[in-house]
Structure 1
């Protein structure tokens, strides 16, 4: 295949849409391989690019001095020609409640292989459905990504909720000058501690945060061995620190071997606060029961890191989600690596293995 011939990706594969676009463009940018994505969100009631998808595409384009064809709302096909990833300052605004955490997923790999440090201002929804809450990215995925040598700092300035959005975060990334390294996380160890943050914003009373936290704490105390510290912070965001009304809870458990697992719940008008807290506790307990070394949210996010790292990564996790299957499909197509999935007999866990390509910034 000629160097300027785009790799073709079917955007309707499994999960379809967002995951393929984020993974595809990031791998396109860091390897300087053009791509063509077709049938974007083809099976959805409103097919094609939505504002949050287009914002992510434009951000990746700007970060790598690339060229994007078909970048309009409703487009079902795009072609992307990447340039050099130079770092520097960039800003992206979904102008909706589209998730800033999903923007981060697209931007992080690009910034890791940039020629200089990157600073991003990202605006949109910080705590939204169908995406990791920004608190999860700060307290869980930041530590998981450090296993692979990807280090970043993420600061929450303003929370933004559905439907208005309006939240803002700043992301600072130092390039991985020696590339990423393989990670071996197969030893769960034992749970050492659980932390959390239960928050409300806008006109919601702080007692809602207490109810979510109390419910989560009660379930964790009943299910975990005695003596494990549980510290859940209850927060009422100050005026100016949030746009609109919202609430939620994010929990994270740390193990004696360095594993970190998350669980979360997002408040809604039709959800009782206690149920939100219980959902977060049950989610984190499910990963602990499995003795998984990453939770389902980190599972799909580390696939691109495993593919680009130097050496063989092995991670123990729960069953593959559709997002993870989609991420593996794109990673194998774009980098020619092979992911090997081994079942752990006697449990519902798997071992996910990959010999990465060992990409170095200088190879671009």
Structure 2
């Protein structure tokens, strides 16, 4: 399952902007499977080159927030049940941390069709963002949807990486094009990431290395360091 547009706006955007570019992601209309109908306007400010990044120190979790939404004919109580279940699950692991997951009824003029889902995002002391998400399905209890999102976030935190399973592959192309060496610390390297690395090396001629993290405390964790010597691609129009 691909991450929701809220993931793009709240997790991908602030991390991707570390490469030195800015973009706006304006959600005009939300759409849901299978009817679709969503509309997003993205505006990007061009840059001469991308800066390399280093995201290897996760730090400690300082905040967990999120949103549980329903749209169309689905009752608001479904959003509240998803949020409550996710909070209960997360508080078992983070007893002293305030977990703020807001239930939301999407306005009818900003959502096309029926849909429900939840995203939970953990912020850390070093500025890392990791997330878990889930979508509602017919016949699936709202509690289970909330718990699935919380468990995904917890799994992304347990491996010790500084980026989650979705962000790791989304950063590969930017690492390949950047001017210098980029490094990110991940959990288990996904097939999407392996594929992204393969094509970045084939098309951009960038050089990647993937190795098990040897940092103190990582011996028992499934953490990896992905490093790339970028090709320093230059925008000829600037």
Structure 1 length normalisation: TM-score? 0.62
The CA distance in 1 between the partners of 2:105 and 2:131, in whole Å, is 21
Superposed CA offset, 1:291-335 (max 9, x none): 211101011110001000111111100111111111000000011
Q: Which residue of 2 aligns with 1:332?
A: 201
Q: Which residue of 1 aligns with 2:226?
A: 352
- 1:203 equivalent to 2:73? Answer yes
Using the TM superposition, name which of 167-176 and 325-334 deviates more.
167-176
Q: CA deviation at 1:166?
A: 0.8
The CA distance in 1 between the partners of 2:128 and 2:235, in whole Å, is 28
Between the two proteins, the alignment pairs up a number of residues equal to 233
The CA distance in 2 between the partners of 1:328 and 1:238, in whole Å, is 40
Aligned counterparts, 1:1-364, within 5 A: 130-177=1-48, 179-224=49-94, 226-345=95-214, 346=219, 347-362=221-236
Superposed CA offset, 1:270-311 (max 9, x none): 211111110110111111111211101011110001000111
Superposed CA offset, 1:182-229 (max 9, x none): 1111111100101101100001011000010000011111112x3322
The residue matched to 1:253 in structure 2 has which SS?
Answer: strand
Q: CA deviation at 1:158?
A: 1.3
Higher relative contact order by CA 8 Å / sep ≥ 6: 1 or 2? 2
The CA distance in 1 between the partners of 2:24 and 2:144, in whole Å, is 31
The CA distance in 2 between the partners of 1:277 and 1:168, in whole Å, is 25
The residue matched to 1:170 in structure 2 has which SS?
Answer: strand
Q: Over alpha carbons, which structure has the higher Rg?
A: 1
Structure 2 length normalisation: TM-score? 0.95
The CA distance in 2 between the partners of 1:166 and 1:141, in whole Å, is 22
The residue matched to 1:166 in structure 2 has which SS?
Answer: coil
The CA distance in 1 between the partners of 2:62 and 2:229, in whole Å, is 31
Q: CA deviation at 1:262?
A: 1.1
Superposed CA offset, 1:38-91 (max 9, x none): xxxxxxxxxxxxxxxxxxxxxxxxxxxxxxxxxxxxxxxxxxxxxxxxxxxxxx
The CA distance in 1 between the partners of 2:122 and 2:82, in whole Å, is 17
Q: CA deviation at 1:267?
A: 0.5
Q: CA deviation at 1:162?
A: 1.3
Unaligned runs of 5+ in 2: none
The residue matched to 2:226 in structure 1 has which SS?
Answer: strand
The residue matched to 2:154 in structure 1 has which SS?
Answer: helix
The CA distance in 1 between the partners of 2:46 and 2:97, in whole Å, is 37
